[in-house]
Structure 1
Amino acid sequence: MSPAIQSPRLAARALIIQEGRLLLVNAYPKHHLGLWCAPGGGVERGSSIPDNLIREVFEETGLIVTVGDLALINEFHDPQSGFHQVDLIFHCTLVKGQIDPNWKDVAGVVSKRKWVTKAQMETLTIKPSSLADIAFASPGPAIYDPLEAILK
């Protein structure tokens, strides 16, 4: 029997680069599956996508950012559960703050944060798969990264 069809979840994520390194966070509570992603999360109704992203980045990292241009639209899904998410990934600029290892994510999801180089990203499990190439590329028009399974 196939999983129930669900509407895709909309999320916003931030590409924050400092000194040639991109900020990543764990994607699941307690770093389940060892998956890393850009900080951000679900878009709440009644608030703009940039405002949602600013809120999510602060909740997960304690950092304050401004939201720039859209860099990537990515879709991923879990074929077994039917979960489907569309991520809008934006270039962001760090305005204030630094990573505090004692920071507590209000949602209890993010417990690990780290700055990584493009080369270091090759040794990690990261979603979307195109994140390193997009994050470290010269600015240009937004890219669409087709639907991929969350884990292969």
Structure 2
Amino acid sequence: MTYLKTKFKIFPIILVSYFSIMGPLVFYLAYNSPEAHVWPAVLFLLLIVLFWFTVLRTRAHSLEINEDHIIVRRYFGIGKSNIYKIAALDGFMNKFESAKGGVYESVFIFENGKRIGSISNFYHKNFEILKLRLQDNLLNLGETTSAF
């Protein structure tokens, strides 16, 4: 088995960057405007923070898969590295979610019943290769349904 690392698509990076810049910019413009109210800008900024701490924390992971371990980094790979032995992992679950752009598949990796990492065909260019590697090394725990 060879070394494999996730590659991110450019669209999610641009989308996240755009909203991350727009939040503080809208707040700044509303705060300095004599006519605009600040509370809609604060609400928008809070939604951006909520997005960062929910969707990005659980979906935008960078994975490095080696022969006997997986390294997981959150937040597009800029988060803290966590190393997991492949032999100690429970397996993975698939999740299909529909959105305006189509149906997206996510694969969640589990250790001791907890999600430790994920890959998604929305965020990752090489999703299919990563999924095949996970299927070769981990137990498929089935499919989970969307909460929405």
Same fold by TM-score greater than 0.5: no
Q: Higher helix share goes to which structure?
A: 2
- TM-score (normalizing by structure 1): 0.30
Structure with greater Cα Rg: 2
Which structure carries more relative contact order (alpha carbon 8 Å, separation 6+)? 1
- TM-score (normalizing by structure 2): 0.31
